[in-house]
Homo-oligomer: A and B are copies of this chain.
Amino acid sequence: MREKAYTADQERLARFARAMGHPARIAILDFLARQECCFFGDIHEVLPISKATVSQHLKELKEAGLIQGEIETPKVRYCINQENWAIASRLFAAFWGHPICKKESYCE
A-side residues, CB < 8 A to B, are 1-7, 10-11, 13-14, 17-18, 20-27, 29-30, 33, 46-48, 88-89, 92-93, 95-100
Contacts and interface: CB of A to CB of B under 8 A. Distances in A.
5 contacts: A6-B24, A10-B27, A14-B25, A18-B21, A93-B96
A26 B13 contact: yes
Contact of A26 (B17, B23, B46): B17
- Majority secondary structure, A binding face: helix
Nearest to A88: B96
Q: How many copies does the complex hold?
A: 2
A13 B30 CA distance: 11
A32 B27 CA distance: 30
Contact of A93 (B5, B7, B98): B98
A6 B3 CA distance: 42
Nearest to A105: B30
A3 B48 contact: yes
A14 B21 contact: yes
